Amino acid sequence: MKRINYQTGNFQKMQNCDVLIIGAGAAGMMCGIEAGKRKRKVLLLDHSKKLGRKILISGGGRCNFTNINTSPQNFVSNNPHFCKSALARYTPETFLDLVQSHRINFHEKRLGQLFCDKSAQEIVDMLHKECLRFQNKFVMDCHIQQVEKQEHFLVTTNQGTFTSDSLVIATGGLSVPLIGATGFGYDLARQFGLNIIKPTPALDGFVFSTEQRQEWGILAGVSLDTIVSCNGASFRENVLFTHTGLSGPASLQASLYWEKSKPLSIDLFPEYDIASWLIEQRKKQPGSLLKNVIAELLPKRFSEELAKIIPWHGNISSLAERTLEEAGEMLHTWQIQPESTVGFKKAEVTKGGVDTSELSSKTMESKKVPSLYFIGEVVDVTGQLGGYNFQWAWSSGYVAGQNV
C-alpha cells in the first residue's frame, strides 16, 4: 500500500491559527476535519514522528474502527448521560459513509465490530487526506513546553510558538506508553483548574496473586467460553488463562467494571443448566466420578485443576440430588479474586480522565475556560471492547469541530 508523506516542517509563517489541536490521533484529526469544513485555520501538533500510532496497532493492525451497535449503554463514566449528545449527532453510520467514500473494504467480525479488510493504515490515510482536503496543517515530533491563556492561547514548543483562538486537547490517556502515551492532557486540565477522575487501566487482563498463579498458572493457554460478571455487567465471550492471570475478551470487558478487592463471577457452562445435566448423567453413568463427568464439557487440563477445589468426591451415583444442584450453582458462579489488572502497559484504554461535569456535552468545551476543549480518551468516557472507543473519538471530535 502506498504510504502518504505527512506534512511537517517549518511553520514559522503559520504561527497563528484559529484552532490548535494537541494530539493528531483519531479524535484530533476528526476535530480538525470538521473545523476545516467551517473554514477554520487548523493546526495539529503531535509529539510522535508517525501519525495515528494507536490507530495503527488497534484491532491486530486492522483497526476495529466502530461498532454498528453503539449506544450510551456501552460506555462507562461518572456521568453516564454525558456521551449521549455526541453519539447521537455523529453515529457509526456517519463514519461508515466516510469509510465507504474512500473505498475502504471492511467486514463485521462479530457483535457489530467493524474492521478494515486490509490494514489500519487505510483509516490513518483516510483521516489525513480529509484533513488536507480542508487545509489542516500538521507539525509532528512537536513537544509542548508551555501552554498559556492570555487574549489567545499561547503554546510554546520545540518547533516554535503558536497562538490560537481555540485550543483542543486530544492527547489520549495513559494506556500503551510504549507508543508515547503520557498524562499531558490531565496535567493541562489541572493547570486550568479542571477536576480529573483518577485514571486507571481498562480493557486489560487480570493478574492473579502468587498463590493463585501457583494453582492456575499450569493452565496457561487454556481458553473457555464463559459468561464473566462484575459489578452488574456480564459478558459472554472467551477467557484465556495466562501464566500470570486471565486474558481474553470477556476478561478485558470485565476489567472496565472491576474494582480492586472485588471478585469476578464466571459461568463455566453458559450453554447448560449444569445441575440438571449432572442429575441426568447420574442416571446414565452412575459409576463415573463427578470430576470425570464434568471433564466431558471442559478442557481436560482445566477440569483436572477444577477437581482439586470441588468439595464433592466419589461416584456421581453416591451424591444426592441436592449436592449436584449445589455443584451446578458453584460451576455457574465460580468466584475468582484477581490481585490487580496488568496495568497501563497492556491496557487498551484509560478509564477516568477529565471530569465530564467540567465540560459541555454538546460542544466538549470547558465550562471554566472558554475556547478550551477536551475530546477522546482524555475525557472520562470509556467504551467497552469492540470499536466503541473509536466511535467516541469520532463523535467527540465531531462535536468539538462543529464549535471551535
pLDDT in tens, 82-97: 999 999 999 999 999 9
**Helix extents (H) in 7-68:** 26-37, 53-57
| Start and end residues for every CATH 2.40.30.10 domain found in the chain | 205-342
Distance CA 398, CA 78 (A): 22
| DSSP code at position 384 | P
CATH architecture of 12-202+347-401: 3-Layer(bba) Sandwich (3.50)
pLDDT at position 312 is 76
| Start and end residues for every CATH 3.50.50.60 domain found in the chain | 12-202+347-401
Write down the CATH number for the domain with range 205-342: 2.40.30.10
Cell of 114: 467493524
Q: Which of 220, 236, 228, 212 is nearest to 299 (CA)?
A: 220
Q: How many CB atoms lie within 10 A of CB 163?
A: 16
Per-residue pLDDT of the chain (404 residues; tens, 9 = 90+): 333 333 444 444 448 999 999 999 999 999 999 999 999 999 999 999 999 999 999 999 999 999 999 999 999 999 999 999 999 999 999 999 999 999 999 999 988 999 999 999 999 999 999 999 999 999 999 999 999 998 999 999 999 999 999 999 999 999 998 888 999 999 999 999 999 999 999 999 999 999 889 888 899 999 999 999 999 999 999 999 999 999 999 999 999 999 988 899 999 999 999 999 999 999 999 999 888 898 899 988 898 888 887 777 778 999 899 999 998 999 999 999 999 999 999 999 999 999 999 999 999 999 999 999 999 999 999 999 999 999 999 999 999 999 99
